[in-house]
Chain A
Amino acid sequence: MSQATLAPHAGAHGHHGHKADPFAYDPAVDAPAEHHAIYDYDSGPPVERGKFAIWLFLATEVMFFTGLIGTYIILRTGASAWPNPEERLAVDITAFNTFVLIISSWLMVRALQAGQKGDKAGILKWLGATILGGALFVGIQVYEYIELYKHGSWPNVDIFWSTFYAMTGFHGLHVVVGVIWLICAWFGAARGKYTAQNHMGLELAGLYWHFVDLVWVLLFTIVYLF
């Protein structure tokens, strides 16, 4: 933690003496009479900046997906009829895709554990497998969209498809961003960026990836099984 000592205002606690330059800070004159611990410490939040930022970002992401899921629930419960998702969607393939994403999340945990040990080869291996899992998830989702397109299931057909594409599409976009982020992290690891002492970049990428997994767990239930 950096030691950002703040210059206290002259006169607040200090002694008023005579100085050659009245605007210059002179510790002998301007230093507080009694010790204030707050001046010795960083005034930032009691957590790493990157982690604070990513959690703040994830909180906004929660609200983003809440808007989508909330709208879906309201439309769904307000509809006089709603088709059975099983009759329109391939639940078995998507269930497999859910397992893929959960496995990739577990692989990410292993990658971070390797990072905590400073095991570069381990990071590359587990992170590489995580990326493959993410890419497979996106591939299966693209396949699903192509099949739906062939059957004429467009977003403008009815409210079921509108909400389906809105929710799964935005989530898919997040997965793509996550895969790109993980690829960047992988190249960072290959350059020896992460050590046992500093692997924050890897942890931040992991937090985002787990969040994407968490959102899918809820989306899968609400969209495919409800």
Chain B
Amino acid sequence: MSGHDEHKNFNANKIFLWLFIFTAVEVAWGILGHKWHVGKPLLWGGLLFFALLKGVLILQYFMHFRFEGWIVKGLIAPTPILIAVIITVLSPDVACNGKLNNNIGTSFDPKTGQIVELPEVAARKGVLPHNAPAPKGADAGGAAH
């Protein structure tokens, strides 16, 4: 708030350092978690924990949210509820997956113009569909680098 910034003094360097550390730990956890097969709940839980921690630090300090009045907090307060509503509303799409034209786990092949199963899915089933491109080792979809 212009002219009323005295109460917003905080150590930005300290917050930045924490963000830096949390990012490094998060990346390490993401890479090692996949490598060690720690399981999705632990892997995703740890990643989400660090991501949310960083998000809260940015929101609270860099965006001065904790120093704002009730009106700004009131503006943002409904968003978590709306997020939950969106996720809930989208959930039936997964439940009705079998009835969709383009099922999850399939993709549109622009060469043949047909819906084909993802190579990963086909490989998992042990059968490759006749019109699906053969997976190239672990890099089935074309690695970036």
Determine if chain A interacts with chain B.
yes
Residues of A within 8 A of B50 (CB): 221
Residue of A nearest to B100 (CB): A78
Residues of A within 8 A of B97 (CB): 78
Compute how far the CA of A156 lies from the CA of B116 in the bound complex, rounded to whole angstroms. 12
Residues A143-171 near B (CB distance < 8 A): 144, 147-148, 151-153, 156-161
One of A80, A157, A213 near B142 (C-beta < 8 A):
A157
| Interface residues contributed by chain B, number (CB under 8 Å) | 65
B83 close to A66 (CB less than 8 A): yes
Residues of A within 8 A of B101 (CB): none
| Given A47-B72, A81-B118, A158 and B141 contact (CB-CB distance below 8 Å) | yes
Residues of B within 8 A of A98 (CB): 23, 27
Residues B94-122 near A (CB distance < 8 A): 94, 97, 104-105, 107-108, 110, 118, 120-121
User: Whole-angstrom distance from the CB of B6 to the nearest CB of chain A?
Assistant: 9
| Given A59-B79, A102-B20, A90 and B144 contact (CB-CB distance below 8 Å) | yes
Binds B, one of A17-25, A29-37, A181-189, A192-200: A192-200
Residue of A nearest to B140 (CB): A83
| Given A70-B87, A158-B107, A91 and B79 contact (CB-CB distance below 8 Å) | no
Compute how far the CA of A208 lies from the CA of B99 in the bound complex, rounded to whole angstroms. 41
A87 close to B76 (CB less than 8 A): no
Residues of A within 8 A of B29 (CB): 225
Residues of A within 8 A of B27 (CB): 91, 95, 98, 225
A190 at interface by CB-CB < 8 Å: no
Chain A interface, DSSP helix/strand/loop, else mixed: helix
Residues A51-94 near B (CB distance < 8 A): 51-52, 55-56, 58-59, 62-63, 66-67, 70-71, 73-75, 77-84, 86-91, 93
A225 close to B12 (CB less than 8 A): no
Residue of B nearest to A150 (CB): B144
Residues of A within 8 A of B43 (CB): 226
Residues of B within 8 A of A90 (CB): 144-145
Please classify how large the interface on chain A is, using the bins under 10, 10 to 19, 20 to 34, 35 or more.
35 or more
Compute how far the CA of A129 lies from the CA of B52 in the bound complex, rounded to whole angstroms. 26
Residues of A within 8 A of B82 (CB): 63, 66
A selection of 22 A-B contacts at a CB cut-off of 8 Å is A55-B72, A66-B83, A70-B86, A70-B90, A75-B104, A95-B27, A99-B20, A102-B16, A102-B23, A103-B16, A109-B62, A151-B142, A151-B144, A153-B141, A153-B144, A156-B110, A157-B142, A159-B105, A211-B63, A217-B54, A220-B51, A225-B26
Which 3 residue pairs spanning A and B have beta carbons closest together?
A225-B30, A78-B94, A158-B107
20 more CB-based (< 8 A) A-B contacts, given A79-B105, A86-B31, A217-B58: A52-B72, A55-B76, A59-B79, A70-B90, A74-B90, A87-B139, A88-B141, A93-B145, A95-B23, A98-B23, A99-B20, A99-B23, A106-B12, A159-B104, A159-B107, A197-B2, A203-B2, A218-B52, A221-B48, A226-B30
